[in-house]
């Protein structure tokens, strides 16, 4: 699936810079960096799995040394820890907290914990042959999230720590819920039925930018999705693992994506997203050998959602939402279409939830974070991610625009760095092939003797057959341009 966000925008520009403290303009140093191709161009030119994505990556099973792992339930990379427990034979120790892409002692959102004392025990055992007792403890500590309403400014996620001796959790049981014609979920197979959904390429911003941030209420996305709710729960359910949406689908067009999102519906109607994932229909059998869909032919899809923990309280409902767009996280497929979901029978569309009983092991105990030593001559303010975003919808002309921006400042002994990033995404529900991105990035280094400004300008658009890519990188010294390079290419769409 094609994706563009602020990380790519930053990585298109940052590698072109020379290093602190002087940021030399010597062409021998600056030239190769400034001339290096932007990351997003290389990414868009490799739209299917293959050697580009695997070199020099080696199989996880090749890891032979003990590893100490940190992950976050709001981190887009969180699935790597379960994969490592499944594939790595060397000893592992892992902490998975409720935070985003950050260290546990400086967690956002919290609760923050002290982890460095645990890492020290681990390293003392393996590097100094000291019996610290850490090998007698369960190797996995995971934060079990309790229900909370959607809140993009949440400071601390309610919940508790849980210990496990491996992956999958020893007492996990997969519970199957079938999708019914009445848009409900039940443990009994449903009668045959077909549900249809008109594709709207502009829906989805409320579901996030990379499966890894605090979100708003999901009702506005669910309104344009096929939704299925359980009855109010008679007792709480605790989830730990990766839910699966097993769907029987068809499309009137040769290209379609499917997205599945698991949510908690509170008695007042508030919808908090718990987990989700998507699948490119052309890559249903192989991400390296995509094939067009045969219109109106039924296919079986297994959408494995990202790692999640959650306790659904008594009286709440479990919701599965299915859609064909999750924009601007994923670039819209190019054809107007109607998709169908087949229900009924043991093999009909269904949801499986990895549910767990209370843990057999004592809950991990973590200290509050110790104060970190900080240099008085280095200060920072703000951080680009998650930034601010807004949506503008032209209901008359069926066009939508999402604007995102983020900024930060850092002060160092050699000067002050100011960063800005801004992205504007545009989509047209009447012409799904014509999506676009306009993006700007700027890094300014105010040094004692000069001010250097690196700028990146991206224009990316599409039609039914191609992506149209243009990126310009500039370097200014005291406001005067001293270097510029532009990359401009037409890139064929490859089942995207």
State the average pLDDT over residues 353-382: 94
Q: Tell whether 384 and 482 lie within a shared domain.
A: yes
SS3 83: helix
Ranges of H-type helices in 185-250: 219-222
Q: CATH number, domain at 250? A: 2.60.120.260
263 found inside a domain: yes
List residues bridging with 392 in a β-sheet.
401
pLDDT at 56 over 80: no
The answer to whether 274 and 151 have CB atoms below 8 angstroms apart is no
Q: Tell whether 32 and 16 lie within a shared domain.
A: yes
Query: In whole angstroms, what is the distance from residue 300 CA to residue 315 CA?
Result: 32
State the average pLDDT over residues 476-492: 98
Task: Indicate the number of domains in the chain.
Answer: 3
Instruction: Identify the domain boundary among 168, 195, 210.
Output: 168
For residue 30, the model assigns a pLDDT of: 98
For residue 57, the model assigns a pLDDT of: 79
State the average pLDDT over residues 1-24: 94
State the average pLDDT over residues 62-72: 96
Instruction: Identify the domain boundary among 168, 191, 224.
Output: 168
347 found inside a domain: yes
383 found inside a domain: yes
Query: In whole angstroms, what is the distance from residue 400 CA to residue 322 CA?
Result: 21
pLDDT digits (tens, 9 = 90+) for 25-52: 999 999 999 999 999 999 999 999 999 9
For residue 46, the model assigns a pLDDT of: 96
Q: Tell whether 251 and 107 lie within a shared domain.
A: no
Sign of the Cα pseudo-torsion (465, 221, 204, 142, in order): negative
Q: Tell whether 252 and 385 lie within a shared domain.
A: no
Average pLDDT value over all residues in the chain: 96
pLDDT digits (tens, 9 = 90+) for 317-327: 999 999 999 99
Q: Residue written as tokens 């801004």?
A: 422
Q: Tell whether 303 and 335 lie within a shared domain.
A: yes
Exposed / middle / buried, residue 336 (Cβ in 10 Å: 0-12, 13-18, 19+):
middle
pLDDT at 384 over 90: no
Within its chain, how far is the Cα of 80 from the centroid?
A: 12
Q: Tell whether 392 and 420 lie within a shared domain.
A: yes
Contacts of 192 (CB under 8 A, 6+ apart): 342, 343, 344, 345, 348
Task: Give me the domain span that covers residue 402.
Answer: 1-54+378-412+414-496
Q: Tell whether 9 and 81 lie within a shared domain.
A: no
329 found inside a domain: yes
450 found inside a domain: yes
6 found inside a domain: yes
Instruction: Identify the domain boundary among 140, 168, 196.
Output: 168
State the average pLDDT over residues 429-453: 97
Comparing CA positions, the residue from 472, 475, 440 lying closest to residue 454 is 475
**pTM for this prediction:** 0.96
Position 97 confidence tier, pLDDT thresholds 50, 70, 90: very high
For residue 83, the model assigns a pLDDT of: 96
Q: Tell whether 342 and 197 lie within a shared domain.
A: yes
Q: Tell whether 36 and 76 lie within a shared domain.
A: no
Percent of the chain with pLDDT over 90: 95
Query: In whole angstroms, what is the distance from residue 166 CA to residue 168 CA?
Result: 6
Q: CATH number, domain at 68? A: 3.40.50.1820
State the average pLDDT over residues 271-284: 98
pLDDT digits (tens, 9 = 90+) for 361-374: 999 999 999 999 88
For residue 45, the model assigns a pLDDT of: 96
Position 346 confidence tier, pLDDT thresholds 50, 70, 90: confident
The answer to whether 31 and 477 have CB atoms below 8 angstroms apart is no
367 found inside a domain: no
For residue 119, the model assigns a pLDDT of: 97
Position 163 confidence tier, pLDDT thresholds 50, 70, 90: very high
Q: Tell whether 159 and 190 lie within a shared domain.
A: no
119-123, 263-267, 377-381: segment of lowest average pLDDT: 377-381
Strand 140-145, strand 92-97: pairing: parallel
For residue 212, the model assigns a pLDDT of: 87
pLDDT at 383 over 90: no
362 found inside a domain: no
Q: Tell whether 320 and 397 lie within a shared domain.
A: no
pLDDT at 55 over 90: no
CB atoms < 10 A from the CB of 361, how many?
15
For residue 182, the model assigns a pLDDT of: 98
Q: Tell whether 231 and 143 lie within a shared domain.
A: no
pLDDT at 385 over 90: no
């Amino acid at each position: 699936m094609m994706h563009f966000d602020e990380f790519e925008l930053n990585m298109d520009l940052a590698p072109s810079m020379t290093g602190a403290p002087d940021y030399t303009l010597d062409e021998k140093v600056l030239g190769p960096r400034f001339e290096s191709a932007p990351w997003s161009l290389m990414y868009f030119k490799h739209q299917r799995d293959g050697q580009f994505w695997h070199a020099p990556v080696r199989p996880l099973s090749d890891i032979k040394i003990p590893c100490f792992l940190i992950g976050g339930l709001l981190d887009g990379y969180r699935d790597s820890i379960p994969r490592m427990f499944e594939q790595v034979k060397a000893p592992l120790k892992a902490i998975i907290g409720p935070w985003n892409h950050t260290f546990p002692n400086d967690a956002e959102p919290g609760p923050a914990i002290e982890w460095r004392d645990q890492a020290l025990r681990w390293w003392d055992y393996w590097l100094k042959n000291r019996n610290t007792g850490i090998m007698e403890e369960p190797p996995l500590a995971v934060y079990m999230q309790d229900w909370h309403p959607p809140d993009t400014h949440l400071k601390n996620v309610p919940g508790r720590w849980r210990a496990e001796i491996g992956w999958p959790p020893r007492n996990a049981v997969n519970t199957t819920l079938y999708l019914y014609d009445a848009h409900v979920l039940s443990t009994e197979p449903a009668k045959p039925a077909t549900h249809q959904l008109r594709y709207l390429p502009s829906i989805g911003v409320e579901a996030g930018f990379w499966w890894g941030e605090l979100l708003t209420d999901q009702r506005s996305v669910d309104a344009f999705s096929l939704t299925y709710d359980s009855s109010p729960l008679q007792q709480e359910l605790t989830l730990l693992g990766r839910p699966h949406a097993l769907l029987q689908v068809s499309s009137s067009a040769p290209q379609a994506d499917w997205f599945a999102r698991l949510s908690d519906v509170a008695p007042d109607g508030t919808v908090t997203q718990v987990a989700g994932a998507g699948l490119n229909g052309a890559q249903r059998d192989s991400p390296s050998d995509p094939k067009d869909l045969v219109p109106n032919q039924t296919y079986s899809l297994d959408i494995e959602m990202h790692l999640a923990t959650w306790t659904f309280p008594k009286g709440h409902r479990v919701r599965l939402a299915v859609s064909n767009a999750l924009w601007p996280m994923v670039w819209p497929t190019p054809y107007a279409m109607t998709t169908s979901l087949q229900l009924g029978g043991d093999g009909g569309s269904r949801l499986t939830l990895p549910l767990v009983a209370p843990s057999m092991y004592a809950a991990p105990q973590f200290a509050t974070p110790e104060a970190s030593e900080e240099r008085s001559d280095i200060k920072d303010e703000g951080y680009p991610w998650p930034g601010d975003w807004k949506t503008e919808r032209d209901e008359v002309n069926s066009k939508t625009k999402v604007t995102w921006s983020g900024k930060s400042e850092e002060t160092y002994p050699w000067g002050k760095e100011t960063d800005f990033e801004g992205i504007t995404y545009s989509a047209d529900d009447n012409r799904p092939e014509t999506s676009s991105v306009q993006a700007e990035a700027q890094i300014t280094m105010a040094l004692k003797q000069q001010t250097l400004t690196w700028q990146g300008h991206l224009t990316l658009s599409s039609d039914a057959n191609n992506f149209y890519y243009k990126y310009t990188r500039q370097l200014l010294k005291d406001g005067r341009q001293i270097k510029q390079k532009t990359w401009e290419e037409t890139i064929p769409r490859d089942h995207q």
